[in-house]
Amino acid sequence: MTSSNEMAKERTDWAEDRTILANERTFAGWMRTGMASLGVALGLRALFGEFEPTWLPKTVSTIFVLTAILIFWAARRQACATIDRLNDHQAKPQSPLYMTTLASVLSIASAATGIVLWWL
């Protein structure tokens, strides 16, 4: 027979595991939001095409590229902080290294996109 203390601990463990999984879904959502910001940057460039002065749409697109990069790193920081506060039980969280790698790759790709936008 399990005691009420053991049952309460088990429910708390499950809640922590659910929070770990929710944290990963939130991280993925922020990554999508950053990619959407990058998509807006590309869309602005396509929409304005040969707009004069050319620096204006490029500058606005650059703001969205920089916003995407900020979103990637804010998501990484928050997700890693949440992982540090929780104890995993059944669910195994993504490693902070994975989140850092993903934020780095997406940031580099976003910066490269911004550079290409200025060359067009």
* Percentage helix, strand, coil for the chain under 3-state DSSP, each rounded to 5: 85, 0, 15
Classified as helix, coil or strand, 64 is helix
For residue 22, pLDDT over 80 is answered with yes
Please count the structural domains in the chain: 1
**Residue 104: predicted pLDDT:** 98
For residue 83, pLDDT over 70 is answered with yes
For residue 47, pLDDT over 70 is answered with yes
Name the E strands within 4-112. none
Per the structure, the complete domain to which residue 61 belongs is given by 4-119
Mean pLDDT calculated for residue range 54-60? 89
Contacts of residue 63, defined as CB under 8 A and 6 or more positions apart, other chains included, come to: none
Q: How is residue 38 written in tokens?
A: 């990058």
**Residue 41: predicted pLDDT:** 93
- The predicted-structure confidence for 27-41, as pLDDT tens digits, reads as follows 999 999 999 999 999
Sorting pLDDT into bands at 50, 70 and 90, what band is 2? low
Length of the chain: 120
Taking the model in full, what pTM does it have?
0.85
Q: Do 61 and 42 touch, CB atoms closer than 8 A?
A: yes
Sorting pLDDT into bands at 50, 70 and 90, what band is 1? low
